[in-house]
Amino acid sequence: MKIGIVGLGSMGAQHLEGLAKLSGVEVAAVGTRDARARSGDLRHIGGNLKREGLVHDFSNVRPYEKWQDLIADPELDAVDLCLPTDMHAEVSMAALEAGKHVLCEKPMALRAADCDAMLSAANRNRRVLMIGHVLRFWPEFLMLSEFLKERGRDRVTSAIFRRHCEVPNWSRWLTDETRSGGAVLDMLIHDIDQALLLFGSPARVLAQSMGPVDTARIALEYDSGLQVHIEGGWFPPPLPFAMSFEVSAAGERMRYDDDGLHLGERAMVVPKADAYAAELAYFAECCRENRAPARCLPEDSARAVKLALLLKQSSDEDGRCLPCDL
């Protein structure tokens, strides 16, 4: 299977390394306006994960400056889009119309209507469309899902997810809300997607700022009485990236943070796995079989965007509680 990567910023570099670990998958083309990155030199690429950029051998990789030329490449089976969010809908739909399978980084798009248009394009062209919600392949979050299945989701008494980093001034576009959607849509979308996956759609939602720079304290309210909380965003520097969760069910508590994964006071053994490589391997498998990505359906990703937009509305209205009908 031959794949082309469009966008070689922080996430494109991460995906490039993940794809290199897969058998039967060849990165045959790359697309970026960055001439240095097009040559394979990614040492200047930054990101909130503070990863070290590498120099890649692109001698057998076709370089494209324009994304339109890459998606027109007749030898490619699929494209991996690691672009600014405001480009997701346009490039995804063009690639689908060109007969390519598409993996698009999260969030799916800036607007609900664009998400719906992307879904229609995938269905019309009978191609795989998957959005890169990597937490669905993250070992600790997979173990949380198993914990909830075993204890019973109806026995959950509390749940909180946290995610933060300093404002991403290393990026040329993330801090422009018209391009990224801001921290709720770009960053907290990870936890919004997990909340929908694990607990379903809430009945009511509210969100308020936690202060500068772009932050939110979110409450998802369910008719059962459960409240799921999400906190975080982009804060003033210095603040390293961190994510965590704490969920209690049936009298037991699972906690994940910098100290690892714990069930009560007992440290859990977590399988070593590259979640990005697992996500990419699953996408490739779905492409080969031309089947819907059941583990990460684009319809779910569209719902996550719609919920994120509702939360942004609540925050803009000083935390007004809004009904949720996804």
Q: What is the pLDDT of residue 53?
A: 73
pLDDT greater than 60 at residue 50: no
* Alpha helices (H) along 80-230: 88-97, 112-125, 139-151, 177-180, 182-186, 189-199
Integer Cα distance of 11 and 47 in angstroms: 8
pLDDT (average), residues 190-216: 98
CA distance 231 to 228: 10
Are 250 and 124 in a shared domain? no
For residue 246, what is the domain's CATH number?
3.30.360.10
Residue 4, beta-bridge partner list: 29, 79
Whole-number pLDDT of residue 270: 98
Mean pLDDT, to the nearest integer, of 54-79? 97
Of 301, 277, 310, the closest CA to residue 19 belongs to 277
Residue 294 lies in a domain: no
For the chain, the average pLDDT equals: 97
In-domain check, residue 282: no
SS3 content of the chain, % helix, strand, coil (to 5): 40, 25, 35
Angle, CA of 299, 69 and 75, to the nearest 5°: 80
pLDDT of residue 52: 66
pLDDT at 267: 98
Together in a domain, 47 and 174: no
Does 286 fall in a domain?
no
* Same domain? 60 vs 186: no
Examine the domain organization and report whether 144 and 258 are in the same domain: yes
What local confidence, expressed as pLDDT, does residue 242 receive? 97
Residue 211 burial (CB count, 10 A): 11
Residues 128 and 207 reside in one and the same domain? no
Within a domain: 293: no
- Could you say which DSSP state residue 137 is in? G
User: Is residue 120 domain-shared with residue 153, that is, in the same domain?
Assistant: no
Proportion of the chain above pLDDT 90, given as a percent: 96
What's the CA gap between 162 and 148, in Å, rounded? 18
Strand order in the sheet with 266-267: 266-267, 260-263, 252-257, 242-249, 156-166, 227-235, 214-221, 204-208, 322-323
Which pLDDT does position 29 carry in this prediction?
98
Q: What is the pLDDT of residue 51?
A: 62
pLDDT value of residue 48: 64
For residues 187 and 315, state if they share a domain: yes
Among 84, 112, 132, identify where a domain stops.
132
- The CATH number linked to 127 is 3.40.50.720
Confirm whether 298 is domain-assigned: no
pLDDT of residue 49: 60
Chosen domain end from 91, 111, 132: 132
pLDDT in tens, 134-169: 999 999 999 999 999 999 999 999 999 999 999 999
* Residue at 288 is within a domain: no
**Cα Dmax for the chain:** 58
Same domain, 128 and 152: no
For residue 153, count CB atoms less than 10 angstroms from its CB and return exposed for 0-12, middle for 13-18, buried for 19 or more.
middle
Q: How confident is the model at residue 47 (pLDDT cuts 50, 70, 90)?
A: confident
From 104, 132, 160, give the residue that closes a domain.
132
Note whether residue 284 is domain-resident.
Answer: no
CA torsion through residues 86, 89, 95, 97, sign: negative
Residues 20 and 99 in one domain: yes
Domain shared by 166 and 264, yes or no: yes
Instruction: Provide the domain count of the chain.
Output: 2
Q: Is residue 148 part of a domain?
A: yes
Asked if 65 and 32 touch (Cβ cutoff 8 Å), the reply is yes
Does 318 have pLDDT greater than 80? yes
- Residue length of the chain: 326
Please give the pLDDT value at position 68: 98
Q: Which domain holds residue 194?
A: 136-276+304-323
Residues 61 and 151 in one domain: no
For 88-124, write each residue's pLDDT tens digit.
999 999 999 999 999 999 999 999 999 999 999 999 9
What pLDDT shows up at residue 40?
Answer: 96
C-beta of residue 288 within 8 angstroms of C-beta of residue 1: yes
pTM as predicted: 0.97
Q: How confident is the model at residue 46 (pLDDT cuts 50, 70, 90)?
A: confident
Q: Are residues 271 and 153 part of one domain?
A: yes
For residue 322, give every residue at least 6 positions away whose Cβ sits within 8 Å of its Cβ, in sequence order, or none: 204, 205, 206, 310, 313, 314
